[in-house]
Structure 1
Amino acid sequence: MLINTKSDGHVHTRLCHHASGEMEEYVRAAISKGLEELIFLEHLECGIHYPEDTWLSEEDFVVYQREGQRLRQVYGDRIFIGIGVEVGYNPKQVPAILDFLKQYPWDRVGLSFHYYEIKGHHYNVVSRRKFNLEPLGKHGVERVISDYFSTLLEAVSLLPATVLCHLDAVLRHHPEVQFNAAHQRQIREIFQAMREKGMALEVNTSGFSHRGEQYPAQPILEEAIALGVPLVAGSDAHRPGEVGRFFERLG
């Protein structure tokens, strides 16, 4: 696989409210594992109505940027430290998302779509929790998956993202999840749009923990490669010890 396994381009910290560990702990873990590059990719969500915040507040982003600059000064001679953002796409909040992205310089802008709206409420499509899975299942698994891919395609077109994250993680914990021929065509359209923008596809190794295979699955990866979409590696670490996890399987 044509991918740089000396770079972990997707890690989170306690700042996102659902991970643990300080930024400096992640940097030290990356250095100890021989990585040459570590990119923090903290969560941005706009206008999401959900029981808990799994993303950074505006105040958190100030702390994040300040600490990132400090760590660059301390460790910059040993590893490149990137300050990035994982943008959760909300079709109703495009102007707010674009305005926020202009506030800071970003080394990477990741794109994801976590929260699906049903009658004014948002549900997390990558969650294993019953209060997410039941409403999404009742809404229709095939419909949610189709909407997920069509919304990602829209996001690729409208946002200045550089990397698409965990492409096929939608409803990963639902027993009925299955991609049909129409979904495969949607994925192909996403790849074509990404290629036109020079956007990379993330090979997310958290999948090895969740399902024994990276995100996205091998056939989807092979199609991306065939279409000329570049690949980057990301552990999606939520604890310092997860930095660079399973990268040896990407060779």
Structure 2
Amino acid sequence: MPADYHTHTPLCMHAEGEPEAFIDAAIAAGVTEYGISDHAPVGKEFFDDWRMLDSQLPEYFDWVERAKAHAGDKIPVRVGLECDWLPDCEGWITNLRDRHRWDYLIGSVHYINDGSNWNFDNPKWVGSKWAEADIEQVWTRYWQSYIDMADSGLFDILAHPDLIKKFGYRPDGELNRFYEPVIDAIATSGAIIELNTAGWHKPCAEQYPHSDFLGLARDGGVDLVISSDAHHPDEVARDFTKAIAIAKAAGYVETTLINQGQRSYEAL
């Protein structure tokens, strides 16, 4: 199975499981490598209730070391962070990168820059803010943030590209008009995208990103990883067989391995 680099720990306050259990699950699934990339702090102060605090980074490193010790020589364990793209975050991301020898940093867009930093993927907004939103405008803002994130060059991997569809809200018309400019920016940046299987277990009932996006990304020469976004050991490498078939249908023949920012490839 391909490497699974996008996984979480209980420090994010919405995951559960001990490091040994995650490693056992990765070994049982037969993934090539296992990566830990919990939600990064976004500053010195409290921001929201679904990420570790800056003061908890030492605990995170301890969690990673427990995972590595349990893995031994049975599976390589990589370490990263999933970092939110927010207004004026570049200095903070640079600060985080300098604080450890990360194998990779993942960039994510979970917030719409509409003046309130709307965390659009929070279920509490279904039936309220989402129901009242101008979907075309929300999608436009989301994808512009994704372009800005790619343009920053700060991230090795860009997460769940079309997370904006999580609750099934899509604008009318053909959606490649949103995808194509984003893929151009990703290709120029050299970042890797992920095929994230968590979407099959959300209201959209579809992997992130859509198959049309994947095909365009492949045509643009964008590298790929397959990710579970696991928040529990049972979710490690979940649906990877189905994801491999979709990646192949989009034209991918290999996925990416990453170690201290250096890439290699393995056949699907």
Query: What TM-score range do you get, normalising by the shorter chain?
Result: 0.7 to 0.9
CA-CA distance at 1:51 after TM superposition: 8.2
Q: Does 1:106 align with 2:102?
A: yes
Q: Does 1:170 align with 2:169?
A: no
CA-CA distance at 1:170 after TM superposition: 0.6
TM-score scaled by length of structure 1? 0.87
Aligned to 1:53: 49
**Equivalent residue letter for 2:119:** N
Aligned to 1:75: 71
Stretches of structure 1 that go unaligned for 5 or more consecutive residues are none
Given that 1:6 and 1:36 are in contact with CA atoms closer than 8 Å, whether structure 2 keeps it comes out as yes
**Sequence identity percentage:** 27
- Match of residue 202, structure 1, among 194, 199, 207: 194
Q: Secondary structure at the match of 2:112?
A: strand
Aligned to 1:92: 88
Q: Secondary structure at the match of 1:126?
A: coil
Alignment root-mean-square deviation, CA: 2.4
CA-CA distance at 1:93 after TM superposition: 2.5
* Cα deviation code 1:79-112 (max 9, x no counterpart): 0111111111002332122212211121121111
Aligned to 1:146: 140
Stretches of structure 2 that go unaligned for 5 or more consecutive residues are 246-268
CA distance in 1, matches of 2:198, 2:104: 19
- Match of residue 220, structure 2, among 227, 230, 241: 227
Aligned to 1:14: 10
Given that 2:85 and 2:108 are in contact with CA atoms closer than 8 Å, whether structure 1 keeps it comes out as yes
CA-CA distance at 1:167 after TM superposition: 0.6
CA distance in 2, matches of 1:180, 1:157: 27
User: Across the two proteins, how many residue pairs are aligned to each other?
Assistant: 243
Aligned to 2:240: 247
* Higher relative contact order, chain-length normalized (CA < 8 Å, sep 6+): 1
* Cα deviation code 1:161-217 (max 9, x no counterpart): 01111111114215x423645x63342222222222321110001122223431111
Given that 1:48 and 1:122 are in contact with CA atoms closer than 8 Å, whether structure 2 keeps it comes out as no
**Equivalent residue letter for 1:54:** W
Aligned to 2:185: 193
CA distance in 2, matches of 1:149, 1:64: 31
**Equivalent residue letter for 2:201:** S
